[in-house]
């Protein structure tokens, strides 16, 4: 290569580097707004000292040891379900006290000491809004008790079936905390009640006699409110059905009661692969060191973890909150799986966003963060007709044998529909 060729080659390389640097500057500019905002969206790790101080105050009230706090049965026994007790543990306005007293005449509430420790002092705190009743629950004149018609999709006791190859076993009405946006609040009742052994045996018999069922979701309520021995028995029974390929557990305990994820429970789960757990983190503040420990134990037991967030007004209905949530989840090895559009359940209308808001959030995830941090936005079709994915419109037109694509940056370009003539 002579000197002229060398010089020309260097100029070409410099031009490519200039183009690359200009493009890198464009990409950096697209994330500046998020970088400025995310420091005001605290994760549980970032407010760990505040949460620890809350924990110590709650422990002192109960005269509880560290061992008590780490015992999930102690947490359950000491769930807060009294306004008077609550007011001794967190700042609570007179208006909020009266609202809770009014709502509890219609709807049960309870919150674990652990989840209470995550709450900030402000009454619009995203943790408070998920756990504590407000008067808005009584103003809902559009919601239904059972918008999914689960009672019409139950071909056997404890079974809900909406799809050809999979079904749900509802094993209990109990949860560590009764979320204010709960889709099954009609089942909560005044007493925590698990399904009887006879009902569960009937559910298992239905699965045995329907060989197309390859995937079983154990939920409730919360599947991990069952005892270790009952979980072991149920998973063993499912393992012994040849056509059941995977077991799934629906639980919010990594979020609301991470103490439930004990070494003993994990030893049981490790015996029954493959086990998948989908949980429900809705806000970055819920991603705490305690939640990470619970998830670490599950991962080490061979459990595959996913997250099914619910899109909730005033809690996570902003692209930056959802982006940070999903990024924080990946750091503790939980894969964002779904964002559910909130169901129209009686008493929850104040949480429901527009579908357009959900689409905008998805538009601000794709391309702006790793694909691992981009779940699927889902509307659960009313009357039990199943999950429907909702996406921003990326195919915006068709012309001849081309489609017009819109990229994540809102650039449009032609793309061949097929390479075949």
CATH code of the domain containing 334: 3.20.20.70
Q: Are residues 104 and 160 in the same domain?
A: no
| pLDDT over threshold 80, residue 204 | yes
Would you place residue 186 in the very low, low, confident or very high pLDDT band (cuts 50, 70, 90)?
confident
Identify the pLDDT of residue 5: 67
Q: Are residues 183 and 295 in the same domain?
A: yes
Would you place residue 145 in the very low, low, confident or very high pLDDT band (cuts 50, 70, 90)?
confident
Q: Are residues 346 and 379 in the same domain?
A: yes
Would you place residue 10 in the very low, low, confident or very high pLDDT band (cuts 50, 70, 90)?
low
Query: Residue 140: inside a domain, yes or no?
Result: no
CB 339 within 8 A of CB 321: no
Return the axis-axis angle of helices 197-208 and 228-239, rounded to nearest 10°: 20
- For 198-221, what is the mean pLDDT? 97
Distance separating alpha carbons of residues 270 and 244, to the nearest angstrom? 17
Identify the pLDDT of residue 418: 81
Distance separating alpha carbons of residues 340 and 192, to the nearest angstrom? 26
Distance separating alpha carbons of residues 406 and 393, to the nearest angstrom? 8
Q: Are residues 204 and 343 in the same domain?
A: yes
Q: Are residues 94 and 12 in the same domain?
A: no
Query: Residue 143: inside a domain, yes or no?
Result: no
Identify the pLDDT of residue 11: 65
Closest CA to 135 of 349, 284, 302, 308: 349
Q: Are residues 72 and 111 in the same domain?
A: yes
| pLDDT over threshold 70, residue 42 | yes
Distance separating alpha carbons of residues 285 and 294, to the nearest angstrom? 16
Q: What is the CA radius of gyration of the chain?
A: 25
pLDDT digits (tens, 9 = 90+) for 254-274: 999 999 999 999 999 999 999
Domain carrying residue 245: 150-389
Task: Output the CA–CA distances (angstroms, integers) from residue 69 to 51, 113, 114, 285, in the order listed.
Answer: 13, 8, 8, 20
Identify the pLDDT of residue 377: 97
- Chain mean position to CA 69: 24
Distance separating alpha carbons of residues 84 and 97, to the nearest angstrom? 8
Query: Residue 69: inside a domain, yes or no?
Result: yes
Average predicted confidence (pLDDT) for the chain: 93
Query: Residue 135: inside a domain, yes or no?
Result: no
| pLDDT over threshold 90, residue 1 | no
Q: Are residues 26 and 85 in the same domain?
A: no
Q: Are residues 196 and 122 in the same domain?
A: no
Q: Are residues 245 and 374 in the same domain?
A: yes
Query: Residue 83: inside a domain, yes or no?
Result: yes
Task: Output the CA–CA distances (angstroms, integers) from residue 160 to 5, 30, 154, 330, in the order listed.
Answer: 72, 44, 5, 31
Distance separating alpha carbons of residues 279 and 387, to the nearest angstrom? 17
Would you place residue 382 in the very low, low, confident or very high pLDDT band (cuts 50, 70, 90)?
confident
Query: Residue 323: inside a domain, yes or no?
Result: yes
> 235: phi > 0 → left, psi -120 to 50 → alpha, else beta; which?
alpha
Return the minimum-mean-pLDDT range out of 18-22, 175-179, 223-227.
18-22
Query: Residue 103: inside a domain, yes or no?
Result: yes
Would you place residue 421 in the very low, low, confident or very high pLDDT band (cuts 50, 70, 90)?
low
Identify the pLDDT of residue 308: 97
Q: Are residues 314 and 409 in the same domain?
A: no
Q: Are residues 93 and 218 in the same domain?
A: no
- For 136-159, what is the mean pLDDT? 84
The contacts of residue 207 (CB under 8 Å, 6+ apart) are: 167, 213, 216, 238, 241, 244
Identify the pLDDT of residue 73: 97
Distance separating alpha carbons of residues 172 and 187, to the nearest angstrom? 9
- For 236-242, what is the mean pLDDT? 98
The contacts of residue 144 (CB under 8 Å, 6+ apart) are: 344, 345, 346
Q: Are residues 324 and 420 in the same domain?
A: no
- For 293-308, what is the mean pLDDT? 98
User: Rounded to two decimals, what is the model's pTM?
Assistant: 0.93
pLDDT digits (tens, 9 = 90+) for 85-103: 999 999 999 999 999 999 9
Query: Residue 330: inside a domain, yes or no?
Result: yes
Q: How many domains does the chain have?
A: 4
């Amino acid at each position: 290569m002579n000197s002229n060729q060398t010089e020309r080659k260097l100029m070409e390389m410099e031009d490519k580097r200039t183009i690359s640097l200009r493009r890198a500057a464009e990409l950096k500019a697209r994330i500046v707004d998020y970088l400025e905002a995310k420091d005001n969206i605290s994760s549980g790790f970032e407010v760990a000292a505040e949460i620890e101080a809350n924990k110590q105050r709650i422990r002192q009230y109960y005269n509880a040891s560290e061992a008590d706090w780490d015992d999930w049965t102690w947490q359950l026994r000491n769930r807060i379900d009294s306004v008077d007790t609550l007011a001794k543990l967190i700042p609570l306005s007179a208006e909020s006290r009266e609202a809770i007293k009014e709502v509890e005449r219609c709807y049960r509430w309870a919150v674990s000491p652990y989840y209470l420790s995550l709450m900030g002092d402000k009454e619009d705190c995203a943790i408070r809004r998920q756990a504590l009743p407000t008067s808005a629950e009584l103003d809902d004149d559009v919601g239904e008790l059972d918008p999914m018609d689960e009672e019409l999709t139950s071909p056997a006791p404890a079974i809900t079936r909406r799809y050809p190859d999979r079904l749900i076993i509802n094993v209990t009405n109990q949860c560590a905390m009764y979320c204010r946006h709960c889709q099954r609040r009609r089942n909560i009742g005044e007493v925590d009640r698990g399904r009887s052994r006879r009902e569960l045996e009937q559910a298992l018999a239905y699965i045995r006699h329907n060989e197309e069922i390859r995937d079983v979701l154990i939920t409730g309520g919360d599947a991990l409110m069952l005892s270790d021995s009952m979980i072991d028995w149920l998973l063993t029974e499912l393992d012994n059905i040849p056509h059941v390929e995977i077991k799934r557990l629906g639980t919010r305990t990594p979020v609301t009661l991470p103490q439930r994820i004990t070494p003993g429970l994990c030893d049981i789960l490790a015996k029954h692969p493959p086990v998948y757990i989908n949980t429900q983190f809705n806000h970055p503040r819920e991603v705490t060191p305690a939640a990470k420990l619970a998830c670490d134990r599950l991962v080490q037991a061979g459990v595959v973890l996913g997250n099914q967030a619910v899109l909730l007004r005033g809690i996570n209905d902003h692209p930056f909150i959802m982006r940070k949530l999903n990024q924080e989840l990946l750091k503790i090895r939980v894969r964002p799986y779904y964002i559910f559009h909130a169901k129209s359940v009686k008493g929850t209308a104040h949480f429901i966003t527009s579908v357009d808001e959900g689409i905008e959030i998805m538009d601000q995830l794709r391309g702006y963060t790793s694909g691992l941090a981009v779940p699927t936005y889902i509307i659960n079709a009313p009357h039990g007709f199943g999950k429907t994915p909702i996406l921003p419109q990326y195919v915006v037109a068709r012309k001849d044998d081309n489609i017009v694509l819109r990229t994540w940056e809102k650039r449009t370009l032609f793309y061949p529909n097929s390479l075949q003539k």
